[in-house]
Structure 1
Amino acid sequence: MTSFLDPFIAFVSAHAWLAYLTLFLAALLEAVPVVGSVIPGSTIILALSALVPGGELKLPWVLLAAALGAVLGDGSAYWIGHRQQREILDTWPLMNYPRLVAQSESFFHRFGTWAVFFARFVPPIRAFVPVTAGALGMAPAKFYAVNIPAILAWAPAHVLPGVLAVSALHEYAGLHHHGHVGKHIWILTVVAVAIVVSVGLWFIRRRHGSGVAEAKPRG
């Protein structure tokens, strides 16, 4: 993964518009059922956010790109489920992931409306709960009333760790060039992702009684 993302991040850092587009697409695809369970959207967002302290990217635009991608991704998944109702959960490609679909349904039934909020922070069901909410008949107004605040919390939670960590590294080590900071980005990214995932899984295990990590598709 690092061998692919290192040159990719280096390239987009020189083309701000492409970096913002990548942030938007990473957040959007992360919300797509099935696709979102394999796309390293959080890693890409964290890695690109590390370019903010060096001035390659602007923090408000990074947050906006990530938030808009998440809103469009979650909203699209929700409306697909809302229009096709329960049958969408038994059609391809969701039918190939019965355990994740079942996990998402159970998560939704246990937490109700708040499942939409909590799922934003918990992979891999983050990509399945919006479509499940639509399929199970959650009203649009209720979905967006929870989904929008969740995304407004999720975007800073994914962007700011990279920004703050690299800013602290700049201040502590006196490094002012992106080339120097780049050596440390992946360590910081892995730590940040591990913290986000660990906190999410800990919360779900306490409230749900079973680890999300067990809900993986067969084969």
Structure 2
Amino acid sequence: MFELLDAAFHWTNLLQPQWYIEHGGLWILLLIVFAETGLFIGFFFPGDSLLFVSGIYSNSLAKWLYDTESDFTNLLMIMTLVTLAGIIGNFVGYWFGKKSGPALYNRKDSFLFKQRYLQQAKSFYEKNGGFTIIVARFIPFVRTFAPIVAGIVKMDTKKFAFYNVVGCVAWVFSMMAAGHYLYKYFLTQHNFDLTQHLEWIVLGIVIVTTLPVILKLIRGKKKKEISEL
């Protein structure tokens, strides 16, 4: 953590997953996953790409806690800790929504809060029900507000807990395992080092994960224009 505070900082570093790992290690990774899923100010963190890159650097991350000297065990340990951080984060978001969420609908936009993100999450949640808690994990912006909206609409706690755990396990394990094993595959089979092309990989992940949101916004805008004719 001290390395993170002492490092030369530029705001663009916030968009670079490898920067967090290199300067903050395991602890900043857990904090970011918690914040992105539990605090509405965490929507700007690089969630999916951060998990993918963390899978690549799982052995390095394990050294911040305990290096088991086993590639698989290190990966499993880090994935488990990240999953717990994500689950706790969602519960905090749910609690926040249940206690004070209704007031957010009357809150004005600010640098850290955008009303449209809340409306997008609400619309997505109402249309897909509890399954939204699972799907939302893979969609930027939406995953930050989905648990808050679940709290606002007072979703059954046990039902929320089930979808929360399933969604977080699916999100963390799929993204980190993909990063870890794709890195090993390309390095051993094609002598291609993914760490040398992280900028393009992160960009690709961002495009893939945000595309559904963009398409939904475009379709919604077209439907609105048609209805106004």
TM-score between both structures, scaled by the size of structure 2: 0.71
Partner of 1:74: 90
The 3-state SS of whatever aligns with 2:139 is coil
Structure with the larger helix share: 2
Q: Deviations over 1:25-78 (max 9, x none)?
A: 1211111444222122333222222123xx424201221122111111111010
The 3-state SS of whatever aligns with 1:123 is coil
Does residue 29 (structure 1) correspond to residue 42 (structure 2)? The answer is no
Contact 1:9–1:47 (CA under 8 A) maintained in structure 2? no
Alignment RMSD, CA only?
Answer: 3.3
Q: How many residues align?
A: 197
Partner of 2:51: 45
Partner of 2:208: 195
Does residue 101 (structure 1) correspond to residue 114 (structure 2)? The answer is no
Partner of 1:217: none
Find the aligned partners of 1:136 and 1:45 in 2 and give their Cα distance: 29
Contact 1:20–1:61 (CA under 8 A) maintained in structure 2? no
Does residue 148 (structure 1) correspond to residue 165 (structure 2)? The answer is yes
Find the aligned partners of 2:43 and 2:79 in 1 and give their Cα distance: 22
Which blocks of at least 5 consecutive residues in structure 2 are unaligned? 1-11, 63-73, 222-229
Partner of 1:186: 199
Which blocks of at least 5 consecutive residues in structure 1 are unaligned? 13-17, 212-219
Q: Could you say if the C-alpha distance between residues 98 and 84 of structure 1 is closer, same or farther in structure 2, counting changes exceeding 3 Å?
A: same
Counting aligned pairs with the same residue, the percent is 18
Find the aligned partners of 1:157 and 1:164 in 2 and give their Cα distance: 11
Read off the aligned partner of 2:79 and give its amino acid letter: L
Q: Could you say if the C-alpha distance between residues 151 and 5 of structure 1 is closer, same or farther in structure 2, counting changes exceeding 3 Å?
A: same
TM-score between both structures, scaled by the size of structure 1: 0.74
Q: 1:123 aligned to 129, 135, 140, which one?
A: 140
Q: Could you say if the C-alpha distance between residues 92 and 60 of structure 1 is closer, same or farther in structure 2, counting changes exceeding 3 Å?
A: farther
Read off the aligned partner of 1:31 and give its amino acid letter: T
